[in-house]
Amino acid sequence: MLKFVHMADVHLGYRQYNCEERAIDFAQAFLSVIKFAIERKVDFILIAGDLFHKKSDIDPLTLAQATKALEKAKKAGIPVIAVEGNHDSTYFKESFSWLDYLAKSGLIVNLKPNFDDGVMTVDEWDGESGAFIDLDGVRIYGMKYYGALTEKILEEFSRKIKRKGFTIFMAHVGIEGYLNIYGCISSNKLHRLKGKVDYIALGHIHKSFVEDNFIFNPGSLETCDIAELDFRRGFFYVEVEDGIRYELIENNRRDFVLLNYKIDSPDYEEFRQFLIEHRRNTKPVVDLTITTTKSVRKMLDEDRIKKIVKEIFDPIVVRIKWNVEDGFYSVKLNFENKESIERNVIRQILENYDYGDIVDEVLRLKSIFCSSFNVAMVDRLVEDIVFGIETKETLAETEEVKAPKLVKDVKPNVGVKAEKIKRPILKLTDLVDVKPAKPREKKIENSEEEEEVWDWRKAYDKRGSARKR
Ligand SMILES: [Mn+2]
């Protein structure tokens, strides 16, 4: 009998509410699933994306939390197969991710398709890279998160899937109709894999669901957002023998106490009694919404309220939200200028889609098209993007007058250009094509600066160096 554990959306390193204790909660949840898998002597463990909460700047503690748990699985001889989620990787640029690091350290198998000059290949895992792996009687395919390109890449990937034994397709993809989040596709795109695949292991949506004993999504292990508190979620323990038997196991997680309190007069004793009625000895996160009037709000001391909550609940976090009639306290007046408001709005929208780093380009394009449309300005924008020149200029500086000066600065000076090119920056060109932008490499070839532009990641990414030759 085949046995495995399927988890997703672990979000290691998430210091929720700026609370160290919360980051430990996420690590505890992960460790408890690994321990469960070892106890049940499963054949392998699946992590369907978002093992980490952040793509970069992972602190040493978070890395230790990941490696210590994974080492336990390794010691027990249980392979851990993973894919990258939207939190784990940049999905338009091939770069060395923390999951690649864990794979390089022999702790996980990190499956993803390979793109050589825009052509996708689904290769067998060779110890460092690949998109599928054959274990004893089981074949596992893995596809990382691709955002808006998901459907296109899935279609091509599907054609390359070949059944062998019990076949699993693992991906960090959301299914429409469960939660209104970005990166979702219609489930029939996956149901089409029936016959080729036996089990679809998903991650991304922090709510569990199973479709047709075929598509499985476990949800988040810990609570990444208060909205998740009502969802059934956890991890799947799966047994395969004449069909699939599964169990959704809801792991222990931090207790959240959500309270609504209406105050008509500044009476702290009544408030204390209200809290005592809801007391729990769980060291919870307390999220308290207080509804009151403008005049009573003025008489209330938030620090004193917090102190009372702390006395009664011994919580790890207290969050107080004010719902004040007439709304005076809920409005944040902001005297920013129009440009910075616009910039903030566009940045926030783009960040929701993981495009936070192209705000400058979007604003420049917008200003070009909204003012006197001028082809030379578009040319310059494209040139800046292609040659990877970082433009820190403001909107005002995109005026035509300054354009020729900058272009002139760049062209004759090869040394300066090479200096700037060697830094990989995510630009618009990365978004329209998965393969690396060609012109950059051509400029580097035959240059005496070649030594200097050598990319250290090549040492780890053998696909990267093969592609360049
Ligand atoms: Mn997630």
pLDDT at 64: 95
CB 237 within 8 A of CB 36: yes
Q: In this model, does residue 279 exceed pLDDT 50?
A: yes
Distance 86 CA to ligand 1 centre (A): 7
The answer to which of 68-77, 98-107, 163-172, 345-354 has the lowest mean pLDDT is: 345-354
CA atoms of 272 and 267, how far apart (whole Å) = 9
Distance 322 CA to ligand 1 centre (A): 29
| Average pLDDT for 244-269 | 94
Residues with Cβ within 8 Å of 169's Cβ and at least 6 positions away in sequence, in order, are 141, 143, 161, 190, 193, 197, 199, 200, 201
Distance 145 CA to ligand 1 centre (A): 11
Given 6, 11, 53, 87, which residue is catalytic? 87
Instruction: Write phi, then psi, for 370 (nearest 5 degrees).
Output: -85, -25
Q: In this model, does residue 195 exceed pLDDT 90?
A: yes
Q: Considering the entire predicted model, what is its pTM?
A: 0.71
Distance 87 CA to ligand 1 centre (A): 7
| Average pLDDT for 247-262 | 95
What are the pLDDT digits (tens) for 118-140? Answer: 789 999 999 999 999 999 999 99
53 catalytic per annotation: no
Q: How many angstroms from the chain centroid is the CA of residue 294?
A: 40
CA atoms of 84 and 52, how far apart (whole Å) = 9
Distance 360 CA to ligand 1 centre (A): 27
- Within 13 Å, how many C-alpha atoms sit on residue 139's CB side? 16
pLDDT at 18: 93
Give buried/exposed letters for 278-301 (b at 16+ CB in 10 A, else e): eeeeeebbbbbebbbeeebbeeee
Distance 172 CA to ligand 1 centre (A): 9
What are the pLDDT digits (tens) for 355-391? Answer: 777 888 888 888 877 776 677 788 888 777 776 654 4
Distance 204 CA to ligand 1 centre (A): 5
Distance 52 CA to ligand 1 centre (A): 9
Q: Which fold is adopted by the domain 2-249?
A: Purple Acid Phosphatase; chain A, domain 2 (3.60.21)
Give the pLDDT band of residue 460 (cuts 50, 70, 90). Answer: very low
CA atoms of 166 and 362, how far apart (whole Å) = 46
The structure tokens listed for 356 are 């936070």
CA atoms of 320 and 264, how far apart (whole Å) = 17
Task: Label each residue of 262-328 as H, E or C.
Answer: ECCCCCHHHHHHHHHHCCCCCCCEEEEEEEECHHHHHHCCHHHHHHHHHHHHCCCEEEEEEEECCCH
Distance 371 CA to ligand 1 centre (A): 40
- Name the more confident of 252 and 353: 252
The residue assigned the tokens 């129009």 is 338
What are the pLDDT digits (tens) for 65-102? Answer: 999 999 999 999 999 999 999 888 765 556 788 999 99
The structure tokens listed for 61 are 């503690």
**Letter for the amino acid at 435?**
K
pLDDT at 355: 75
Domain ranges of the chain: 2-249, 256-330, 338-468
Report strand pairing: 2-7 vs 44-47: parallel
The residues pairing with 356 across neighbouring beta strands, listed in sequence order, are: none
| Average pLDDT for 108-120 | 90
Q: What angle is formed at CA 54 by the lines to CA 50 and CA 57, rounded to 5 degrees? A: 145
- Name the more confident of 415 and 113: 113
% of the chain exceeding 70 in pLDDT? 77
CB 15 within 8 A of CB 22: yes
CB 60 within 8 A of CB 66: no
Most confident of 103-112, 321-330, 357-366, 424-433: 103-112
- How much is the mean pLDDT over the chain? 82
Distance 11 CA to ligand 1 centre (A): 7
pLDDT at 334: 56
Distance 336 CA to ligand 1 centre (A): 33
**Letter for the amino acid at 436?**
P
Cα Rg of the chain, angstroms:
26
DSSP 8-state assignment for residue 330: G
SS3 351: helix
Q: In this model, does residue 452 exceed pLDDT 50?
A: no
Give the pLDDT band of residue 236 (cuts 50, 70, 90). Answer: very high
Q: In this model, does residue 403 exceed pLDDT 70?
A: no
The CA-atom distances, in angstroms, between 427 and each of 121, 351, 434 are 24, 14, 12
**Letter for the amino acid at 410?**
V
The answer to which of 29-33, 206-210, 419-423 has the lowest mean pLDDT is: 419-423
CB 22 within 8 A of CB 64: no
Could you tell me what percentage of the chain is helix, strand and coil, using 3-state DSSP and rounding each to the nearest 5?
40, 20, 40
Distance 139 CA to ligand 1 centre (A): 25
% of the chain exceeding 90 in pLDDT? 59
pLDDT at 94: 63
pLDDT at 203: 96
- Name the more confident of 6 and 182: 6
SS3 393: coil
| Cα end-to-end span (Å), the chain | 46
The residues pairing with 228 across neighbouring beta strands, listed in sequence order, are: none
The structure tokens listed for 43 are 């054949």
Type and span of the H or E element at 34: helix 20-39
